[in-house]
Structure 1
Amino acid sequence: MNEVPPARPASGEDRHATWLELFFDLVAVAGVAQIAHLLHGEPGASELGLYVLLFLAFWTAWICFTLYGNVAGEGTHARTVLAAMFGMAVMAAAVPGVHEGEDGQARALAVAYVLIRMLANSAWRHRREILVDWPAAQLSLGVIPWIVSLWAQEPARYWLWALGIALDLYVTFTVSARDIIANRKAHDRREETRSRRRGAVPRVSVAAPDADHLSERLGLFVIIVLGEGVAQVIEAASEARWDRRLYGLAAAAFFLLVALWSLSFRHGYAGVPYLTARSLPARAALPLHCFVSGCLAALAAGLGAAAEHLDTLPQSTRWLLCSSLSGYFLLTGIAALRQPGGVRRWMLSVVVPCCTLPLLIAGFGAGLGTVALVWLLVAVTLWPTFYESRRARRPREAIAQGET
């Protein structure tokens, strides 16, 4: 039987994001910005829940076609990607209406999401490849609740969306590669039986992502999210009075974002801090990337709110800013579990304080000024880099002392 091999660059050729993929990622800029705006003002539990739900949906739609382009390579159908890009633009445009409880926009977002997922499913069927590393990209179980939600009202609609996301995660973590291949082979045998007069049905092949190219695409998404933090502060500063407090906050926000960039890229992989290439399977690394990006986008929204409240932060905004940084470091600890040697000491010395200190600042920092609070978060974020540099300096000092 014939197999359809995935398109790959020539041997020894470095593969980078194409212009089409970069154009596609521009929609991520709009989507992240719209979703981050849900956390403006003084967000409550409902706003936070809606933010998590929509961010997961948007990221899921994005990763389905990121993986498709990654595997297809030069065989990527531009019309398919552009159609998905239009759907994601509809989702991004509908976010404010969903927040305001508009049924029309909520249905438009659900329809766009369903069509994107079905389009991804069709693209994979056309290639006759099985992506075992991320089965949710080609299995449509999680889409069913989104279809049902077209006839539901809020809050039932949102619960159905959450169920769809939960089913995707369930499929991702519970369906094994063996099960996927066995089901596809059984489907092929049925197709062969039905079409014996027309000839045999081509067999499917197993697709493996291009790790370096995927890392670049994932890193670009994180860069987009960090850039949203800059955009949030600039937007808020353009409407605020320029005085010492604003200057201090702008400097603190800049140092905070630079420190996060350093952790995510100079000390990380694919935008995830302390993750290394192939240290985790894609099924674990991709959700980690999603959650890290979600924490950074929430932190970006918190920085924008900080520029609007230069005296003291409202309680909900203070908790948003601090807990998103704490979550970022918690995920950092998960990524570092596969690091060789000294993990236990590193967790106690870096991850635990970086997770707990922001929460302590949130809980007991009601009297802190906004600028002082953000600078404290800068100090927390710089601690891992300082710890690593101090630990790396000790062997050099020991060697120098031995030589003397």
Structure 2
Amino acid sequence: MTVQTEERHASWLELFFDLVAVAGVAQLSHLLRGSTTWGDAGLYVVCFLAFWTAWMCFTVYGNVTGAAARTMPVLLAMAGLVFMSVSVHDLGKHAQVFAVAYLAVRSLASRVWEGRTSTRIVVEWPVVHAGVGVVPWFVSLWADAPGKYGLWALGLALDLLISLTVSGERLARKAASRVSRREPGARTAFAHLDLTHFGERLGLFTIIVLGEGVLTVTEAMAETPDWPAPLFWTVIAILALLAALWGAALYQGFAGIPYLRQTTWGPRSLLPVHCLTAGLLAALAAGLGDVVESLEHGEMAPGTRWLICGCVAAFTIIGAVSRATSQRWSRWDYLATAAGVAIPLAIGFFGAPLDPVRFLWLLVLAVALSLTRGPRRK
């Protein structure tokens, strides 16, 4: 007799926690609305990675603990992420709040694993136990911009370096050693992620990011006084582009990464690529809102054109790498990948004369060519 175990899905607490992702992605994408400077782009990268890292710390907590997750730490983390989100609206004035909230969430995330008699160490996400990445953030409290932002980037780079290069088991043993020195006699246990449930959680974040694209376009259309026919065709093209991205990232992908099989990558590769993909889609959402607004004055800014084209080209490259490593590559994929990169680059360089409708449908074609392979296989 075969015993079937019930597949685990996101809990109500986890879904409630994800509401901060809705707010955070909305505020972060607005950093790029109407902006064409490299400085704003760099600031967006730093802030998005910080928000994603803080969100991930408690997503990992919910994944490992399941129904045993304590509600109060999660709600406190939500408050910290809300303050981070609000601070982005005017980071020049509220950078200090952003940094303090980030430090508070990271501190809470490291303490939440400690019980009265034992401490759990997450092997696949050792960053939550490593304090070196938060040191530059603490120092930044006494620094002014742009040095403050540079220290934030340094702290995030250290976290990324640790997660990519240092063995999770090694860091887990070191963390266990620190616990035993601090609390002699305390027991430590190594915890592992539920990858299927984790993939669902990352996919939900991607859905939130794609939803920001829909919301941005809806708001831009609502703020447009007149609704000529090109506006309707532009919005339809945007929805088609978002649908194509959804198909690649979720219908044919795993954890929000296009064309990836569930069993191909472990968390060490999965997490940074998910962050990159989600960041690209959130930036794309900002650019799509600017496309709708450009109809009013009849010209799309070159920075907006390059932002969208760059995001689509990078998304295509991520999809090609994940498809190849998932052993799903075929001869057609050479053509589809070449077109998915060449079309955005071509209209990035030469697409100034294109109206938004033609511009967007060419991007839909660039993404859709790789979708012709059928539904994903695990």
Alignment TM-score, normalising by the size of structure 1? 0.87
1:67 alignment partner AA: V
2:130 aligns to what SS in structure 1?
Answer: coil
1:217 aligns to what SS in structure 2?
Answer: helix
Cα distance between partner residues in 1 of 2:305 and 2:254: 29
Which residue of the other structure, out of 228, 232, 250, is the alignment partner of 2:235?
A: 250
Cα distance between partner residues in 1 of 2:301 and 2:343: 19
Quick check: 1:93 aligned with 2:80? no
1:295 aligns to what SS in structure 2?
Answer: helix
1:149 alignment partner AA: S
Q: Which runs of 5+ in 1 are unaligned?
A: 1-9, 390-404
Quick check: 1:372 aligned with 2:358? yes
Quick check: 1:120 aligned with 2:133? no
Once the two structures are superposed, the pairs formed by residues 339-354 of structure 1 within 5 Å of their partners are 339-340=326-327, 342=329, 345=331, 347-354=333-340
Residue aligning to 2:302: 315
Deviates more, 1:322-331 or 1:152-161: 322-331
Cα distance between partner residues in 1 of 2:203 and 2:212: 14
Quick check: 1:207 aligned with 2:191? yes
Cα distance between partner residues in 1 of 2:245 and 2:364: 9
Q: CA, structure 1 residues 181+224, in 2 after alignment: closer, same or farther (shift >3 Å)?
A: closer
Whether the 8 Å CA contact 1:219–1:271 is kept in 2: the answer is yes
Equivalent pairs, count: 367
Whether the 8 Å CA contact 1:236–1:307 is kept in 2: the answer is yes
Deviates more, 1:56-65 or 1:347-356: 347-356
CA positional deviation for 1:77: 0.9
Whether the 8 Å CA contact 1:299–1:324 is kept in 2: the answer is yes
2:346 aligns to what SS in structure 1?
Answer: helix
Whether the 8 Å CA contact 2:103–2:137 is kept in 1: the answer is yes
- 1:355-401: CA deviations, max 9, x gaps? 22201111111111112101111111111123x25xxxxxxxxxxxx
Residue aligning to 1:187: 178
Q: CA, structure 1 residues 346+165, in 2 after alignment: closer, same or farther (shift >3 Å)?
A: farther
Cα distance between partner residues in 1 of 2:170 and 2:108: 23
Which residue of the other structure, out of 219, 230, 233, is the alignment partner of 2:217?
A: 233
Cα distance between partner residues in 2 of 1:136 and 1:11: 34
CA positional deviation for 1:295: 0.7
Identity of aligned residues (%): 44
Cα distance between partner residues in 2 of 1:27 and 1:85: 6
Once the two structures are superposed, the pairs formed by residues 322-401 of structure 1 within 5 Å of their partners are 322-340=309-327, 342=329, 345=331, 347-386=333-372, 388=373
Which residue of the other structure, out of 108, 117, 138, is the alignment partner of 1:147?
A: 138
1:219 alignment partner AA: G
Cα distance between partner residues in 1 of 2:272 and 2:249: 15
- 1:254-290: CA deviations, max 9, x gaps? 1111111111121111121111112101010111111
Cα distance between partner residues in 2 of 1:375 and 1:342: 25
Once the two structures are superposed, the pairs formed by residues 18-29 of structure 1 within 5 Å of their partners are 18-29=11-22
CA positional deviation for 1:341: 5.5
Q: CA, structure 1 residues 357+176, in 2 after alignment: closer, same or farther (shift >3 Å)?
A: same
Larger Rg belongs to: 1
Cα distance between partner residues in 1 of 2:275 and 2:329: 27
Once the two structures are superposed, the pairs formed by residues 126-141 of structure 1 within 5 Å of their partners are 126=115, 128-141=119-132
Q: CA, structure 1 residues 150+365, in 2 after alignment: closer, same or farther (shift >3 Å)?
A: same
Cα distance between partner residues in 2 of 1:335 and 1:129: 32
1:272 aligns to what SS in structure 2?
Answer: coil
RMSD after superposition: 1.7
Whether the 8 Å CA contact 2:125–2:168 is kept in 1: the answer is no
Whether the 8 Å CA contact 2:126–2:172 is kept in 1: the answer is no
Q: CA, structure 1 residues 128+253, in 2 after alignment: closer, same or farther (shift >3 Å)?
A: same
CA positional deviation for 1:42: 3.3
- 1:239-259: CA deviations, max 9, x gaps? 112011101101101111111
- 1:204-240: CA deviations, max 9, x gaps? 1211111121111111100000000000110000111
Whether the 8 Å CA contact 1:124–1:138 is kept in 2: the answer is no
Residue aligning to 1:169: 160
Q: Which runs of 5+ in 2 are unaligned?
A: none
